[in-house]
Amino acid sequence: MDGFLIFLQSIRWQDVVDITLCSYILFRCYVIFRITKAFRILIGLAFLWIFQRLAVSIGLIVTSWVIQGITAVAALIIIVVFRNEIRSVLQVKNIKTLFWGLPQQPFHTPVQIIANSVMDLARKRIGALIVFPGKEDINEKIQNGILWDGAISKEMITSIFWEDNPVHDGAIIIEGDRIHEVGVILPLSHRQELPSYYGTRHRAAVGLAESTDSLIVVVSEERGTVQIVKGFTITPMLKKDDLEKHLQQHLGLVIKDPSGQKKEKNEIRLAAMVAVIFITSVWFTIARGLDSLVTFEIPIEYMNRNPGMEILDASVNSIKIQLAGSVPLTRALRPDHVRVKIDLGKSVVGQNIYTITNENISLPPGIFIKSFNPAVVDVTLDVPDKKNLPVQVDWTGKLPENLRMEKVTIEPSIVQIIGGRQLLNNINTAYTEKIPLESIQSSRTIIVNLALSPASLKVAPGFKDKITVECSVK
Amino acid sequence: MVYFQKCKVIIWGAAIFLCLGAFCDKHGLIWAASAEKLVISSAVLCEDVQERQPLYEGVVFSIGIGKIFCYTLFDPVPEKTHITHNWYNRDNLTTKIKLSLQPPRWTTYSAIQLRESDKGPWRVEITDSEGRILQVLRFSVTE
């Protein structure tokens, strides 16, 4: 219970916004694309991706590669094949529909007028060919269409197919509440089993139906019959009501009953829940997963130091921190993402001991501290000061047996050193770097650096840090 | 009358003498007629002292010699006093040896025994009875 409370407290408002936004985006994708055929393919693609992750997690290397390849190719194919469908979904007049509400067909095809017109044409034995495109693009299948873009009326349809009209031989294409094109030439079917009395009009209807998802209404000029062709099925229409029903079904205009509406609402609610659960799971995997450990050596940053003081010494300069997080987050983590800060605002001259807590360590979201070492830092602060120190040579090694060093002259013999006041109080000599005696065979001059320790000590500006040592040996 | 004039000269002379003495005392000047200062005539580091003379002077000594001497000659020594030889190894005071001086001239020395851990830079500060540094000698102990 305590663990759950700690977990709840650790959730930030950014995490809630993160999950809500991503869930809503996923939900809107479902709402927008659910009426398209591409949606089913997208679901399949999502399953492929899940399988691929599963294969990776259980170590099926080749399988995961293959599935990854298939997924990538499938995604490309979907975009190419369903480009028109995707475009039609996204090309909305009102941008609001992308973010709110359920997508609806903008214009309702006047099915009743069309059915009346078709039956009238049949009675008058006027041949007609009317195409109702489905969700697939038919532009690549048809030819020579003349743009009409006229409102649908019984008179208009009758006049288009009137024998003396120049475009009466072709098909018309109805999109929404408009006659989009007239005089359109459809691809002819090469099927052998079609009845011999089927003329060009019927073969054209079958030809388009078998290569697209369009519904085509054919009115026979010779027999005065009405037939609808969809896919590989040719259905005779004896009654106007049957024709209306088929057209409504094809155009998605079937009025839903109350139970159907309720079912749709429940489906939307379920989709919203699934979206939230899915995104929350993904968020947990990415942001809260603690299945990976990483260790960094992070330098300590000292903040708010009194300008009148300087850090003379610190027991450690960096802290080793073991961090936990999900694999993707720990992989992306770099040492400069982690900071260890110690506030020196209340420090005093001399030794200051600080205990490091989690509050001293700042981490990116989703990364947690497993352990760190050391937990205590000892910082010595001092006031900057100057002191003149005599220089002394630090000889090392062994002088050759027959030689004796009698005199050493140092230039400069005194240097001014800058450092902490307390530190300088305990220092009375500035030593040079070690000079090996083995190299001295006779009296000579050596130039050597000062070896100031600790490193916080510096030679004051204007003073040489190179020391000239003249040694006379006998 | 002549007697009065002689007395006047003596009084004026005494007054000037006292004023000069007070001025010199106040400004730390040595009044040569009244006090001599302790002066180091010679101060060296050496491997041995024999017959009040330093032997094998140097500034670098091998640890193998076992012992190092700090020889000091004071001339003049105005009065009976004492000095101190303070031996430092890398700024750490390791040995403090108090030595008596007798007027008018005095030779004295101190020595330290060397151990393996004594390698490194050394210095000997020679201070007077009031702790004032008279001279600093620097040397190194090596292999």
- Interface with B, mutate which of A405, A410, A443, A472 (most B CBs under 10 A): A405
Q: Comparing C-alpha atoms, which of A264, A256, A220 is closest to residue A238?
A: A220
Q: Write phi, then psi, for A119 (nearest 5 degrees).
A: -65, -35
Cα B37 from chain centre: 10
On whether the CB atoms of residues A84 and A185 are closer than 8 A, the answer is: no
Assess whether A225 and A264 both reside in one domain.
Answer: no
Mean pLDDT of chain A: 85
Q: Across the interface, which of A393, A406, A428 has its CB nearest the CB of B140?
A: A393
Look at chain A and report how many structural domains it folds into: 4
Q: What is the mean pLDDT of residues B68-92?
A: 94
Burial class (CB in 10 A: 0-12, 13-18, 19+), A36: middle
Name the helix (H) or strand (E) containing A13.
helix A13-33
| Distance (Å, whole) CA B90 – CA A191 | 110
Does A3 reside within a domain?
Answer: no
Does A234 reside within a domain?
Answer: yes
User: Which ipTM score applies to this complex?
Assistant: 0.74
Does A6 reside within a domain?
Answer: no
The verdict on pTM exceeding 0.90 is no
* pLDDT tens, residue by residue, B83-133: 999 999 998 999 999 999 999 999 999 999 999 999 999 999 999 999 999
For residue A295, name the pLDDT band (cuts at 50, 70, 90): very high
User: Quick check: B7 pLDDT over 60?
Assistant: no
On whether the CB atoms of residues A368 and A343 are closer than 8 A, the answer is: no
| Distance (Å, whole) CA A64 – CA A62 | 5
Q: Under CATH, to which class is B40-142 assigned?
A: mainly beta
Does A424 reside within a domain?
Answer: yes
What 8-state DSSP symbol labels residue A284? I
What tokens does A33 get?
Answer: 């694309």
CB–CB contact A398 B121 (8 Å): no
Q: Comparing C-alpha atoms, which of A42, A6, A22, A54 is closest to residue A276?
A: A22
* Containing structural domain, residue A315: 292-382
| Distance (Å, whole) CA B32 – CA B36 | 6
Q: Identify the CATH number of the domain in which residue A464 sits.
A: 2.170.120.40
| Distance (Å, whole) CA B6 – CA A199 | 172
CB–CB contact B60 A407 (8 Å): no
What tokens does B111 get?
Answer: 């020595």
Q: Is B102 on the interface with A (CB under 8 A)?
A: no
For residue B32, the model assigns a pLDDT of: 41
For residue A311, name the pLDDT band (cuts at 50, 70, 90): confident
Residue in the block written with tokens 């809630």? A16
Q: In this predicted model, which residue has the larger pLDDT, A412 or A134? A: A412
Task: Please give the angle made by the CA atoms of A429, A431 and A436, to the nearest 5 degrees.
Answer: 150
What tokens does A147 get?
Answer: 């743009």
- Distances in Å between the alpha carbon of A389 and those of A311, A457, B91? 22, 12, 12
On whether the CB atoms of residues B121 and B90 are closer than 8 A, the answer is: yes
For residue A395, the model assigns a pLDDT of: 93
Q: What is the mean pLDDT of residues A43-51?
A: 84
Q: Across the interface, which of B57, B121, B143 has its CB nearest the CB of A394?
A: B121
For residue A9, name the pLDDT band (cuts at 50, 70, 90): low
Q: Is A397 on the interface with B (CB under 8 A)?
A: yes
Assess whether A145 and A187 both reside in one domain.
Answer: yes
Domain end marker among A382, A403, A434 = A382
CB–CB contact B140 A395 (8 Å): yes
Assess whether A361 and A411 both reside in one domain.
Answer: no
Q: Across the interface, which of B56, B88, B138 has its CB nearest the CB of A404?
A: B56
Residue in the block written with tokens 């220089």? A391
